[in-house]
Amino acid sequence: MELTVLGSSGTYPTAGNPSSGYLVQCDGTSLLLDAGSGVYVALCDFIDPGELDAVVLSHRHVDHCADIFALSHRLLYGPPRSTRVPLFVPPELADRLVAFGGESFTEAFELVEIQTADMESHAIGALRLSFAPAAHNVPALLTKVESDEASLVYTGDTGETPQLQALAHECDLLLAEASLIEADWHHHMTPDQAATAAATAGARKLALTHIRPTVDPSRALAAARAIHPNTVLATPGLTIRLPAEEH
């Protein structure tokens, strides 16, 4: 399994760094986690977007879903494909997407609304997806992606929650938001909170993402590494192979 960072800028994109978007690939299966501003063009550098097997949108905030409409136009008006793309979304988001994108949106995507109590696994090619509710100020998902050999968990936007430690138990990679240095908003995590979640869950590697442009990333990284030493910054173009090779 490989995770490629398409964009990781928190709250709004910057020059050279789109908002949240991550490509997961495994044995011919391609999955997009979030589609924030600028992610569609970044995705084109790695694959033909028409070859995606599924998309997950963690929640409705535009820095995580704005480019889903660019992708829908590619699917509708680009080279045709034989099936719709499964699009996994939290409660309330499906209707909003159709209201904005029009009825043709459902010709591009097969909308799968994940309810809070839905803990069953969803098979997408060589991958399996499972979800848990995030602690955010709108309905939001924590997402676990598994192959036969590896697993990763993506937080989307969330504050501290025991749901995260449970879902990320002994995962190979926790891709965790770390928006702020100081905990002044309960709907986001700080680097040390993300690192504590990773350490508590027994995650083998932590990648910090969604760091706001006003935050010094080196300071965020140092704070996290003080708790979970195997921590990296999720920078655009970074590819992480899972499971990690032993040295």
pLDDT digits (tens, 9 = 90+) for 27-36: 999 999 999 9
Domain 2-241 indexed as CATH 3.60.15.10: yes
CB 188 within 8 A of CB 150: no
Residue 169 and residue 151: Cα distance in Å, rounded?
Answer: 10
State the Cα–Cα distance between residues 30 and 169, nearest whole angstrom: 24
- 23 beta partners: 4, 32
Taking Cα atoms as reference points, which of 38, 12, 61 lies closest to residue 214? 12
Confidence of residue 51 (pLDDT cuts 50, 70, 90): very high
* Cβ–Cβ < 8 Å for 227, 195: yes
pTM over 0.95: yes
Residues with Cβ within 8 Å of residue 114, at least 6 apart in sequence: 88, 89, 90, 91, 131, 141
Percent of the chain with pLDDT over 70: 96
CB 168 within 8 A of CB 239: no
Phi and psi torsions of 122, nearest 5°: -120, 125
Instruction: Tell me: pLDDT of 247 over 60.
Output: no
Q: Over 90: is that where the pLDDT of 225 sits?
A: yes
> Tokens 């100081």 map to which residue?
182
For residue 59, the number of C-alpha atoms closer than 13 Å in the C-beta half-sphere is 21
Nearest to 152, CA basis, from 133, 132, 169 = 169
How confident is residue 186, by pLDDT bands cut at 50, 70 and 90?
Answer: confident
Distance CA 136, CA 140 (A): 6
Are the beta carbons of 20 and 36 closer than 8 angstroms? yes
The Cα-based distances of 216 to 181, 212, 219 in angstroms read: 9, 9, 5
pLDDT in tens, 133-176: 999 999 999 999 999 999 999 999 999 999 999 999 999 999 99
- Partners of 29 in beta bridges: 26
Radius of gyration of the chain (CA): 17
- What pLDDT, in 10s, does the model give residues 64-97? 999 999 999 999 999 999 999 999 999 999 999 9
